[in-house]
Amino acid sequence: MLHLARRVPFLALSGLLLAGCASAPPPAYRSENFDAESPFVTWSTREPAAACEIGKRALLSQGYQVDSSRPNNIRGEKFFLPKPDYGMTLNITLVCLPSNVGTAVYANALQTRYELKSAASSTGVSVAGVGSISLPWASDKEALIKVGEETISDPDFYRRLFGLIEALHGS
């Protein structure tokens, strides 16, 4: 009976560990299909630098801050504050590469989420021969802390972006 009493806590702990592992989401690479049809690319008959210039103008027209240090690689960033304690950034990268029809324009968007969190702090006192003590210190410091980041894979998002670029392409 004593032997069984020792096993019960071990079995319970093992069950909890297995249950914790089972609730973790599957690795992202398992759902990566590498389909030939991709929402992340569109085609232009213009040269790469000219196609990316149109992409830069499209991002600027929507309020994005644009880094235009490289003509074939455009990065745009826009900040959102949907609620006072919740912020988001949307980063869009456009890469324009030569292709047999002119240019392939690749787009990638990354959404980063932030939440307002209180920053706790503590203070410590050390006395020689006695030791040290650390006490929590009340503080009103709050900061937006990054809580998540995700590549946008919604085909409709990219259709809207490429639709704007195409509309500016004709003008």
Q: Mean pLDDT, 10 residues at a time, over the chain (171 residues)?
A: 54 55 79 87 96 96 92 96 94 97 96 87 62 62 89 96 92 66
* Residue that is written with structure tokens 């050390």 in the block: 126
- pLDDT number for residue 161: 97
- pLDDT number for residue 43: 95
- pLDDT number for residue 144: 82
Rounded to whole angstroms, the Cα distance separating 129 from 5 reads 45
Rounded to whole angstroms, the Cα distance separating 17 from 20 reads 5
State the Rg of the chain over Cα.
Answer: 26
Specify the pTM.
0.72
3-state secondary structure the chain: CHHHHHHHHHHHHHHHHHHHHHCCCCCHHHHCCCCCCCCCEEEECCCHHHHHHHHHHHHHHCCCEEEEEECCEEEEEEEEEEECCEEEEEEEEEEEEEECCEEEEEEEEEEEEEEEEECCEEEEEEECCCEEEEEEECCCCEEEEEEEEEECCCHHHHHHHHHHHHHHHHC
- pLDDT number for residue 120: 61
